[in-house]
């Protein structure tokens, strides 16, 4: 029985081509040839070879110029090649041959959108909507176009219609929130953003809300830091000294919006360069990661604010004498041989700022004793004060505080 089954299978395989040839017509007419060419062209388009489909579609159009599907596939091929005006022309022919279908008008609306012809896109989509009023995709696209055209009332009406068609349309809620925000109807906009979150989608206004929270928060933190440093020097009339890592933390807060870019930046509707767009979103955070790594290496030791170079030098030498540390002075370096310690000092006297760091890998305990001695003299008010940086930080802090409240109340 097993051998008989195998024999039948073998015979079926051998005969199947013969049967297929017997069933095929000896010579198809122009319509059959056109359909064969169209099918081959569509397969090429589906396998991302639209350029190979072009000559086949030209042949098919010569054989049967009144077949609507030829122009549908032709337009699709041009679209994949990103030749959107040519795609639009083919879709117009498709719409002319099949005027009762919404699909060619929807395709025309998308092609016009890709060319940033938003009004024209909405005109095409209006025809598609007339032919298929229950298709929410068309209404949502029109809503998005109205937002881009800054026609806020029309956008609200269209998005409301989209939500009526699909009550769980996160996209429609997100687009309507943009229009409501622009129309200063913030309560409704907040409600729509919550609905967009609820239905698991993230849209432009939701991204705007993230930035609306993130940027004021960043500006608020930086303004408080600037005001603290400025007022700390100006009101106390004493210089400040603290770890450079705190300055690095402040820089990190400043760059924090860049790290959210990868998650917040949207995908462009209709964009075919998903890989390129992904890389664009990724490169910005990577660039700042490299920069922060460099700053981490540079931000060593302690930073100084409100100092005068001669007064600071006098205080530093006094600390070294108190600790009975013999030292050698070089350009920007104080060398302490007994502790195998090199202290690098950079002072910008005219602005009253500077940095002190341990340039050697050893002598950490001695370096910390020196820093503690400087902090004590700073606290006792033994040094002269330069308020240039303090005043600058206070002014910048106040400006950022005003911006913080302005952004929070948008």
Query: How many residues are recorded in the chain?
Result: 410
What is the pLDDT, as a whole number, of residue 151?
Answer: 94
Q: Taking each helix axis from N to C terminus, what angle separates 30-46 and 68-80, rounded to the nearest 10 degrees?
A: 20
Return the minimum-mean-pLDDT range out of 20-29, 76-85, 136-145, 359-368. 20-29
Rounded Cα–Cα distance for residues 101 and 53 (Å): 24
What is the pLDDT, as a whole number, of residue 12?
Answer: 36
Decide if 308 contacts 354 (C-beta within 8 A): no
Kindly state the tokens that stand for 240. Answer: 């400040």
What is the pLDDT, as a whole number, of residue 193?
Answer: 85
* Per-chain mean pLDDT for the chain: 83
Kindly state the tokens that stand for 298. Answer: 């540079």
Phi, psi of 237 (to 5 degrees): 60, 35
Q: Is 125 left (phi over 0), alpha (psi -120 to 50) or beta?
A: alpha
What is the pLDDT, as a whole number, of residue 96?
Answer: 94
What is the pLDDT, as a whole number, of residue 261?
Answer: 59
What is the pLDDT, as a whole number, of residue 168?
Answer: 86
- CB crowding 100-118: b at 16 or more within 10 Å, else e: ebbbbbbbbbbbbbbeebb
Q: Which residue segments constitute the domains of the chain, with CATH numbers given?
A: 33-133 (1.25.40.10), 307-384 (3.30.310)
Mean per-residue pLDDT for 36-42? 90
- CB crowding 123-155: b at 16 or more within 10 Å, else e: bbbebbbebeeebbbbbbbbbbbbbbeebbebb
- Binned at pLDDT 50, 70 and 90, residue 350 comes out as confident
What is the pLDDT, as a whole number, of residue 396?
Answer: 93
What is the pLDDT, as a whole number, of residue 287?
Answer: 82
pLDDT above 50 (res 3): no
Rounded Cα–Cα distance for residues 18 and 154 (Å): 63
What is the pLDDT, as a whole number, of residue 39?
Answer: 92
Around 82, how many Cα atoms within 13 Å sit in the side-chain half-sphere?
Answer: 4
Mean per-residue pLDDT for 325-346? 89
Alpha helix ranges (H) inside 68-203: 68-80, 84-97, 103-114, 118-131, 136-148, 152-165, 170-182, 186-198
Around 49, how many Cα atoms within 13 Å sit in the side-chain half-sphere?
Answer: 10
Mean per-residue pLDDT for 119-128? 95
Q: What is the pLDDT of residues 379-406, one digit of tens each?
A: 888 888 999 999 999 999 999 999 888 8
- Binned at pLDDT 50, 70 and 90, residue 130 comes out as very high
Q: Which residue has the higher pLDDT, 277 or 19?
A: 277
pLDDT above 90 (res 291): no
Return the minimum-mean-pLDDT range out of 51-55, 129-133, 346-350. 346-350
284: CB partners within 8 A, 6+ apart: 258, 261, 262
Return the minimum-mean-pLDDT range out of 95-104, 181-190, 206-215. 206-215
| Count of helix runs (H) and strand runs (E) in the chain | 18, 6
Decide if 54 contacts 37 (C-beta within 8 A): no
pLDDT above 50 (res 2): no
pLDDT above 80 (res 171): yes
Beta bridge partners of 303: 242, 355
Mean per-residue pLDDT for 351-371? 90
Q: Which residue has the higher pLDDT, 310 or 273?
A: 310
């Amino acid at each position: 029985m097993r051998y008989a089954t195998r024999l039948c299978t073998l015979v079926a395989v051998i005969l199947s081509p013969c049967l297929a040839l017997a069933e095929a017509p000896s010579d198809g007419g122009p319509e059959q040839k056109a359909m064969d060419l169209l099918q081959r062209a569509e397969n090429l388009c589906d396998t991302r070879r639209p350029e190979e489909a072009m000559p086949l579609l030209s042949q098919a159009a010569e054989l049967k110029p009144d077949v609507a599907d030829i122009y549908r596939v032709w337009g699709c091929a041009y679209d994949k090649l990103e030749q959107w005006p040519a795609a639009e022309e083919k879709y117009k022919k498709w719409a002319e041959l099949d005027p009762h279908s919404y699909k060619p008008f929807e395709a025309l609306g998308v092609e016009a959108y890709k060319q940033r012809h938003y009004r024209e896109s909405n005109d095409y989509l209006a025809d598609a909507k007339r032919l298929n009023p229950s298709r929410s995709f068309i209404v949502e696209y029109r809503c998005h176009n109205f937002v881009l055209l800054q026609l806020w009332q029309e956008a609200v009406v269209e998005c409301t219609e989209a939500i009526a068609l699909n009550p769980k349309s996160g996209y429609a809620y997100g687009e309507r929130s943009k229009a409501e925000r622009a129309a200063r109807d913030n309560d409704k906009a907040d409600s729509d953003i919550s609905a967009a979150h609820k239905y698991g989608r993230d849209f432009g206004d939701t991204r705007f809300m993230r930035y609306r929270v993130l940027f004021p928060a960043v500006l608020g933190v930086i303004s408080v830091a600037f005001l603290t440093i400025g007022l700390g020097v100006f009101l106390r009339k004493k210089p400040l000294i603290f770890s450079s890592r705190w300055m690095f933390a402040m820089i990190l807060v400043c760059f924090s919006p860049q790290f959210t870019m990868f998650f917040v930046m949207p995908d462009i509707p209709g964009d075919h360069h998903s890989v390129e767009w992904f890389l664009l979103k990724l490169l910005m955070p990577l660039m700042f990661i490299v920069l922060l790594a460099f700053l981490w290496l540079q931000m060593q030791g302690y930073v100084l604010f409100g100092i005068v170079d001669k007064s600071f030098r006098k205080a530093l030498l006094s600390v070294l004498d108190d600790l009975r540390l013999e030292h050698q002075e070089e350009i920007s370096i104080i060398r302490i041989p007994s502790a195998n310690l090199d202290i690098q000092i950079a002072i910008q006297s005219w602005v009253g700022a500077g940095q002190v760091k341990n340039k050697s890998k050893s002598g950490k305990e001695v370096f910390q004793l020196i820093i503690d001695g400087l902090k004590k003299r700073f606290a006792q008010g033994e040094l002269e004060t330069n308020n240039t940086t303090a005043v600058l930080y206070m002014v910048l802090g106040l400006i950022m505080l005003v911006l913080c409240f302005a952004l929070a109340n948008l």
